Amino acid sequence: MPSSSIPAFGVGTFRLQDQAAIDSVRNALDLGYRLVDTAQIYGNEAAVGQAIADSGVPRDALFITTKVWTENLAADKLIPSLKDSLSKLRTEQVDLALIHWPSPGGAVPVAEFMGALAEAKAQGLAAQIGVSNFTVALMQDAIDAVGAGAIATNQIELHPYLQNRAVAEFARSQGIHITSYMTLAYGKVLGDPVVEAIAQAHGATPAQVALAWALQLGYAVIPSSTRRENLASNLKAQQLRLSDAEMAQIAALDRGGRLVDPEGLAPHWD
């Protein structure tokens, strides 16, 4: 499948637990979202699985992404951990399985975990595979291991304050799709005067502007919310078109404002 087979708009579930996760996913599916993004470390795969089962939306209409945690990257652990995820999600296959973070300190070689992930795909546990939080050098290692064509996406922190251009441009050169997480920068960009002015000009919300900006650059987005009205509002970003001048104004907001940089886990960023 080509990387473009990843839906452009999905709902994220980071930090959502138990009933909050169930309600958010149920509301999202009810509103028309079809991509749901979770991860082993979120501790909510079972809640997501329940929400999906309760939704009545047919499995083949959905796109489910999960991410393999660093403790499960060794060749003997990756596939069993993914099977456990599938059991919690109540599905025989995820549409996309990602390596959540590179192995801290390179403890498990990239070739080992990418090989195991490719084997998981070969076994039918995942329709597509990819990576998350990978630098240019790590993407190159992953490409060397399984080929660029096998890597559907690199899911990275990317928002107006951290535009991650080196990684995005390298990915594009290799035909690897970018998924932007934290597109609203934990809400920090929503009060930005430039974003607010563009929103006002369009009769839109600042969140819609930030999401539309990422979509127009060709990235997939996975914003999360516990509020149904925000989930509904975010979806409308898909109808918003920004002018070249507005895109340039947002491009100028880049300030290297990284928000996700966990000690002991983060690689040496580009």
Q: Is 100 annotated as a binding residue?
A: yes
Backbone angles phi, psi at 35, to 5 degrees: -100, 125
Q: Euclidean distance between the first and final Cα of the chain, in Å?
A: 29
- Kindly report the backbone phi and psi dihedral angles of residue 70, in degrees, each rounded to the nearest multiple of 5, phi listed first: -60, -30
Is the entire prediction scored with pTM above 0.95? yes
CB 88 within 8 A of CB 46: yes
The pLDDT, as a whole number, for residue 90 is: 98
Q: For the chain, give the percent of residues with pLDDT over 90.
A: 98
Q: Which fold has domain 3-184+219-225?
A: TIM Barrel (3.20.20)
Look at residue 198 and give its three-state secondary structure: helix
User: Which listed residue (33, 42, 161, 219) is catalytic?
Assistant: 42
Beta bridge partners of 151: 129
Residue 2 has pLDDT above 90, yes or no: no
Query: What crossing angle do the helices spanning 110-122 and 136-146 adopt, rounded to 10°?
Result: 50
Residue that the structure tokens 């991509």 belong to: 35
Per-residue confidence band for 48, with pLDDT thresholds at 50, 70 and 90: very high
**Closest among 111, 116, 163 to 138, alpha carbons compared:** 111
Domain boundaries, the chain: 3-184+219-225
CA-nearest of 221, 220, 210 to 176 is: 220
Tell me the β-bridge partners of 132: 155
Q: Does 42 qualify as catalytic in the annotation?
A: yes
For the chain, what is the mean pLDDT? 97
Q: What is the pLDDT of residues 181-210, one digit of tens each?
A: 999 999 999 999 999 999 999 999 999 999
Measuring CA to CA, which residue among 61, 12, 51, 11 is closest to residue 33? 11
Write out the two tokens for 73: 């990257």
pLDDT in tens, 104-146: 999 999 999 999 999 999 999 999 999 999 999 999 999 999 9
